Amino acid sequence: MTQSNTRPGPLRQLMAMLYDFMLLLSVLLLATVIPVVLNGGEAIHSGNPLFFFYLLLVSLFFYGWFWTHGGQTLGMRAWKIYLVGQSQVSISWKQAGTRFTVAIFSWLFLGLGFWWQWIGKEKQSWHDVMSGTQLILNKPEKR
């Protein structure tokens, strides 16, 4: 069987993001234990910028690890989505960090950076353009 590399549709991408969000939420809850223990068991104040950046760093490590080691998060694996560089190779930590950072801004503007892949001329999201990556859907072609 040959493989076809096409871009996954919006519903498939959103479902993979939902899977990954649930997994990331559990990782962030577990990661919160460390600062709470270091704070003597007291809750961390919600306005603490160091705690916010700590959670962002944990999130970056979560996505970066999966993206640089196989090109798939668990949600992407369930929906058969792969993240590759523009030349169909695995991505670097620099690309993963850029993609993660720009993706935050993509969603801050009501998701415009995400939806841009279906309304823009390049047919890529903002975070794909800035990081030199692309999402592909590998599915077997029927004979």
* Contact assessment for residue 99 and residue 43, using Cβ atoms and an 8 Å cutoff: no
The reported pTM is: 0.87
> Cβ neighbours of residue 128 under 8 Å, at least 6 residues apart?
99, 117, 134, 135
For 90-139, the pLDDT digits (tens) are 999 999 999 999 999 999 988 999 999 988 888 899 999 999 999 999 74
Q: Which of 135, 57, 69, 139 is nearest to 100 (CA)?
A: 57
